[in-house]
Amino acid sequence: MSVESKSAMVTGASKGIGRDIALALARDGFDIVLGFGRDRAAAQAVAEEIAALGRKTVLVAGDVASPEVVTNLFSAAQRTFGRLDTVVINAGIMRMAPITRASLADFDAMMSVNARSAFLMMAAAGEQLRSGGSIIALSSSVIAKSMPGYGPYIASKLAVEGLVKVMANELRGRDITVNAVAPGPTATELFLHGKSQQQIDALAQAAPLERLGLPQDISAVVAFLAGGQGRWINAQTIRVNGGFA
């Protein structure tokens, strides 16, 4: 269902799943607040694609684990569009290592970018979203597999799923939905980085559909949750993984 004159915020929107989410929402009639880390050229390219769809964008750079950056994102939404209807918490990092060899620095980095940022974004969204709004946070289907090498990453994403359930209850009576979308192995730079071709091939065969997910497989579910047809889905984690888990 298309919507008119609404705005959405997407973090980690310069590439991968975040890019596809921003474009899917723009196709559904949302103007977009594009949050990105350091790659301004990539973010600008996404903004140009959105402009070609007839929608407006505003770009905000920075680490969403920073309260100041989160404030900048929400201020930009109100200043530019005068309203905010959907917040998609997508920015994240993944560093793989067995728990016995994982560094505390990597653990802290994932907890900061993946979990702390989700906490800050949900807190701000709860203050600013209007009735009929939605919060959608990206988790991961590797949680359901307890896969070796993913311990700190899984810990950070379990925190996200816990925040989603509590936030949905705390927003009782305001007609705001809060859900998590948990992709399985998806062909993005984040997923492919550091993996051998043998590892990639094995993960591609792990699901009954015998392929890696594509960013558009994930963005379609996010767009559904952000649209009018997904209003009865709340406090859920939707695993989008081709049967991987």
153 catalytic residue (yes or no) = yes
DSSP states of 21-70: HHHHHHHTTEEEEEEESS-HHHHHHHHHHHHHTT--EEEEES-TTSHHHH
Question: 229-235 — which CB contacts under 8 Å span 24+ positions?
Answer: 229/1, 230/134, 230/177, 231/132, 231/177, 233/177, 233/179, 234/168, 234/177, 234/178, 234/179, 235/164, 235/165, 235/168, 235/169, 235/178, 235/179
Question: How is residue 118 written in tokens?
Answer: 């989700």
Name residue 134's beta-bridge partners: 86, 177
| 220: helix, strand or coil | helix
Q: Which of 107, 153, 191, 244 is catalytic?
A: 153
- Judge whether 128 and 120 are in contact, CB under 8 Å: no
Catalytic residue IDs? 153
